[in-house]
C-alpha cells in the first residue's frame, strides 16, 4: 500500500474490508474486525452461550463441509436454509444455552473473509456495538503491553453482480458506526480517518437504533423476516465478551492472555 494511505504515524486507525485487513496484518498491528450485521455479533452471541466458533472463509461449499466434519462441528448455514432445517445460521438469535460446549464452523462473505485475510497476526479481535467498550479495553491492554498500533476494520458489504472493473466493496454504515463506538472508548492519537469515524458515531448515537434499522443492511434483514436480528445487533455495550482468534478458533480475551 502507498505510504500516504497507511495512517502510519497514528496509534488508532480505520480501514475498510478485506484489503484493509490484509494491509493491517502486513504491518502486524492489533486488529479489531467489525461486522455488526452480523458475523461479529453472532460470534459474540455464540460465545455468550459457551459455544466454540471456528471461522472459515466463504463460500459455504463442500470444502467448508469437510472442514466442519474434521472438527466434528456443525457448519452454520444461511438464514433461509436454517429456518427450514432448524440448523444454526448467521442469526445471533439461533444460538442458545443448549449450544454450550458444541462446535460450529461459521462462514460469512465479509467478517469471516476479513478474518481469513488477517488470521496470521498475533492479535485479531472481533468488535461490534454489543461489546464496543469491552473490545476497546482489551485492545488498549494489548497496546500497552506491545506498543503496537490498533486498526479497526469496518468490513462493509459487497455489491452483487459487480463487473470485472468494479470494486465489490459497499461501505456499510452499521460497521462504520460500530467502529466509531469502539474508537470513542480509546485513548491515543487518532488518524483523520479514525477521528471522523468517531465523530460519526458520537454525532448520531442518539438516533443509532433508527439509523441501523433503516440503513440498507437493516432493511434487507427486516424484509427477509429477520428484524429481531437487527434489534439484537444494535444494542450498545451490553456484552463483556471479546472474541480473540487463537489458532483456528475464537476464545474469550483475558488480560493474562499471551498473544505476542
pLDDT of 3 above 70: no
What is the three-class DSSP state of 244? strand
Structure letter (DSSP) for residue 9:
T
Helices (H), 150-207: 173-183, 192-204
Report strand pairing: 249-252 vs 243-246: antiparallel
76: left (phi over 0), alpha (psi -120 to 50) or beta: beta
Domain ranges of the chain: 11-159+168-252
Q: On the CB side of 62, how many CA atoms lie within 13 Å of its CA?
A: 0
Q: Compute the half-sphere exposure of residue 49: CA atoms within 13 Å on the CB side of its CA.
A: 19
Distance, in Å, from the CA atom of 147 to the CA atom of 41, rounded to the nearest integer, reads: 28
Residue 207: enclosing H or E segment and its boundaries?
Answer: none
Which residue has cell 468517531?
198
Pick the CATH number of 11-159+168-252 from 3.40.640.10, 3.90.1560.10, 3.40.50.280, 3.40.50.300: 3.90.1560.10
Residues 6+ apart with CB under 8 A from 237: 129, 130, 131, 132, 133, 134, 181
What's the pLDDT tens digit per position in 50-99? Answer: 999 999 999 999 999 999 999 999 999 888 887 778 889 999 999 999 99
Cα-to-chain-centroid distance, residue 259? 19
pLDDT in tens, 104-155: 999 999 999 999 999 999 899 999 999 999 999 999 999 999 999 999 999 9
Which cell numbers hold the place of 169? 466493496
Three-state secondary structure call for residue 74: strand
Whether this model's pTM surpasses 0.85: yes
Amino acid at each position: 500500500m502507498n505510504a500516504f494511505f497507511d495512517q502510519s504515524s497514528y496509534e488508532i486507525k480505520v480501514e475498510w474490508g478485506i484489503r484493509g485487513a490484509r494491509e493491517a496484518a502486513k504491518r502486524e498491528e492489533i486488529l479489531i474486525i467489525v461486522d455488526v450485521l452480523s458475523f461479529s455479533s453472532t460470534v459474540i452471541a455464540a460465545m455468550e452461550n459457551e459455544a466454540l466458533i471456528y471461522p472459515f472463509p466463504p463460500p459455504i461449499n463442500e470444502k467448508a463441509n469437510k472442514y466442519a466434519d474434521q472438527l466434528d462441528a456443525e457448519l452454520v448455514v444461511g438464514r433461509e436454509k436454517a429456518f427450514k432445517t432448524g440448523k444454526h445460521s448467521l442469526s445471533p438469535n439461533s444460538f442458545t444455552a443448549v449450544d454450550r460446549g458444541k462446535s460450529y464452523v461459521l462462514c460469512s462473505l465479509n467478517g469471516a473473509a476479513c478474518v481469513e485475510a488477517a488470521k496470521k497476526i498475533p492479535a485479531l479481535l472481533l468488535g461490534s456495538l454489543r461489546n464496543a467498550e469491552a473490545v476497546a479495553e482489551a485492545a488498549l491492554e494489548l497496546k500497552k503491553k506491545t506498543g503496537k498500533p490498533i486498526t479497526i476494520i469496518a468490513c462493509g458489504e459487497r455489491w452483487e453482480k459487480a463487473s470485472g472493473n468494479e470494486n465489490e466493496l459497499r461501505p456499510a454504515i452499521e460497521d462504520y458506526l460500530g467502529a466509531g463506538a469502539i474508537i470513542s472508548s480509546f485513548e491515543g492519537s487518532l488518524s483523520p480517518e479514525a477521528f471522523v469515524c468517531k465523530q460519526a458515531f458520537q454525532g448520531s448515537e442518539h438516533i443509532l437504533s433508527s439509523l441501523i434499522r433503516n440503513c440498507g443492511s437493516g432493511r434487507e434483514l427486516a424484509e427477509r423476516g429477520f428484524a429481531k436480528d437487527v434489534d439484537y445487533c444494535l444494542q450498545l455495550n451490553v456484552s463483556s465478551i471479546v472474541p480473540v482468534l487463537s489458532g483456528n478458533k475464537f476464545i474469550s480475551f483475558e488480560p493474562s492472555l499471551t498473544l505476542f
